[in-house]
Copies of this chain bind each other. A is one copy, B any other.
Amino acid sequence: MAAYYALIMAGGIGKRLWPRSRHDRPKQSLRLVGDRTMFQHAVDRLAPLFGPEQIHVVTGVSHVKALAAQSPAIPEGNFIVEPEGRGTAPAIGLGAIHFARLDPDAVMVVLTADHFIADRECFRQVLAAAEDVARDGHLVTLGLKPSHPSTGYGYIQQGDPIGTVGGFEVFRADRFTEKPDLDEAVRMVESGSFTWNSGMFVWRVDRIMGEFQRQMPEFHAQLTTVAAALDTPDYETILARVWPQVTKQAIDYGVMEGAQDVSVIPVEIGWSDVGSWTSLADLLPADEQGNVISGLHLGVDTRNTLILADERFVATIGLEGLVIVDTEDALLICTREREQEVKEIVRRLEEEGMGDYL
């Protein structure tokens, strides 16, 4: 039987989790839930479906050392280093040529390093089922059954049912939509035939390469150049020459929206993108006042507030609905409603040359 590989994309910073996330301490390296880093969780939950030798990681040169240290069981050669990030399509393409060299008939699953999944058992079951569907030539997407009409995610519209595999219903994916406005999100969620696009995909390596060739021919030619250098001493030189010329592209827009034989498996796996402090708070146990606290805290009439402060003692009086995140050199205090504007803080730090805090 042909191989099944996992590709964990671990290139981002996670700006919305500033001040914990920094250039040299990206989100996937943070211990946000329990005492394992997000990357370690991403690796842990693949066992026993994937052994360490089946797990590959695509990341930037500045992150690779820290990630390798976090998961020493993964062979060093499985860390695929991008000279610079060019979006998800190139990262996946780079993974695909590595897998194709190992086994031209391989199936690969594309995963993220910084999301949380509560139901690991169900997650592995759907990955196992998706492999079967992918072997038949489908580009399989994992669609997350929506818990609320989020305007923060893309949606996938289910079409005709294809069948049931491993206990999971599989549908044709009729359409990928970008982040909707609230009215549209409500309509989609109420229809029952839309799921959130998780960014997790399963497909045969030859199928995704075929889609690159058909839909992103220039990138496919660049990939072919890099692939020809695999296992040669020139690989890094050639990759470093080619990669800056690669057009930035997301896999959704570059491939999925126009791909053939795309299917979706709707799942409920307790997924969270941990995309903001509030979404992290939702994953952690709250006290009777609705507070989520990490660190030494005394509160007088403090409610519905997230306090992450392992560096120093925090006292609060009369607070409601705040996010308080302390680090050694920087402190964030904002309302839960406006936590998305953390990105604005990061932008202004960049603009004002305060790079020490980035």
Residues of B contacting A317 in the complex (Cβ-Cβ under 8 angstroms):
332-335, 338-339, 341-342, 344-345
A319, CB-defined interface residue at 8 Å: yes
Nearest-neighbour CB distance to chain B for A16, whole angstroms, equals: 12
Quick check: which of A3-11, A185-193, A308-316 contacts chain B, the rest being far away? A308-316
In chain A, residues 289-331, which have Cβ atoms closer than 8 Å to a Cβ of chain B? 296, 298, 300-301, 309, 312-319, 322, 324, 326-331
**B331 near A318: Cβ-Cβ < 8 Å:** no
Provide the bound-state CA to CA distance between A317 and B357, in Å.
17
Nearest-neighbour CB distance to chain B for A286, whole angstroms, equals: 18
Sort chain A's interface into a size bin. Answer: 35 or more
Residues of B contacting A316 in the complex (Cβ-Cβ under 8 angstroms):
332-334
Residues of B contacting A339 in the complex (Cβ-Cβ under 8 angstroms):
317
A354, CB-defined interface residue at 8 Å: yes
Residues of B contacting A344 in the complex (Cβ-Cβ under 8 angstroms):
300, 317
Provide the bound-state CA to CA distance between A335 and B357, in Å.
27
Q: Which of A313, A315, A319, A324 has its CB near the most chain B CB atoms (within 10 A)? A: A315
A349, CB-defined interface residue at 8 Å: yes
Provide the bound-state CA to CA distance between A334 and B322, in Å.
11
**A330 near B318: Cβ-Cβ < 8 Å:** no
Provide the bound-state CA to CA distance between A330 and B296, in Å.
10
User: Which residue of chain B has its CB nearest to the CB of A320?
Assistant: B335
**A341 near B313: Cβ-Cβ < 8 Å:** no
User: Which residue of chain B has its CB nearest to the CB of A338?
Assistant: B318
Residues of B contacting A332 in the complex (Cβ-Cβ under 8 angstroms):
314-317
Q: Which of A317, A335, A345 has its CB near the most chain B CB atoms (within 10 A)? A: A317
Provide the bound-state CA to CA distance between A318 and B341, in Å.
9
Residues of B contacting A345 in the complex (Cβ-Cβ under 8 angstroms):
298, 300, 315, 317
A241, CB-defined interface residue at 8 Å: no
Residues of B contacting A327 in the complex (Cβ-Cβ under 8 angstroms):
312
Contact with B along A115-155 (1 / 0, CB 8 A): 00000000000000000000000000000000000000000
Provide the bound-state CA to CA distance between A348 and B296, in Å.
13
Provide the bound-state CA to CA distance between A319 and B334, in Å.
7
A231, CB-defined interface residue at 8 Å: no
Evaluate whether A331 and B357 lie within 8 angstroms (CB atoms) in the complex, with A298-B345, A300-B345 already known: no
Contact with B along A50-84 (1 / 0, CB 8 A): 00000000000000000000000000000000000
Nearest-neighbour CB distance to chain B for A206, whole angstroms, equals: 48
User: Which residue of chain B has its CB nearest to the CB of A325?
Assistant: B315
Residues of B contacting A313 in the complex (Cβ-Cβ under 8 angstroms):
19, 329-331, 354, 357
Residues of B contacting A301 in the complex (Cβ-Cβ under 8 angstroms):
338
User: Which residue of chain B has its CB nearest to the CB of A334?
Assistant: B317
Provide the bound-state CA to CA distance between A57 and B22, in Å.
50
Residues of B contacting A319 in the complex (Cβ-Cβ under 8 angstroms):
333-335
**A19 near B335: Cβ-Cβ < 8 Å:** no
**B315 near A19: Cβ-Cβ < 8 Å:** yes
Residues of B contacting A354 in the complex (Cβ-Cβ under 8 angstroms):
296, 298, 313
Nearest-neighbour CB distance to chain B for A306, whole angstroms, equals: 12
A-B contact pairs, 8 of them (CB 8 A): A18-B315, A298-B354, A314-B332, A315-B331, A317-B333, A317-B339, A317-B344, A333-B333
Point out residues on A near B: beta carbons under 8 Å.
18-19, 296, 298, 300-301, 309, 312-319, 322, 324, 326-335, 337-339, 341-342, 344-345, 348-349, 352, 354, 357
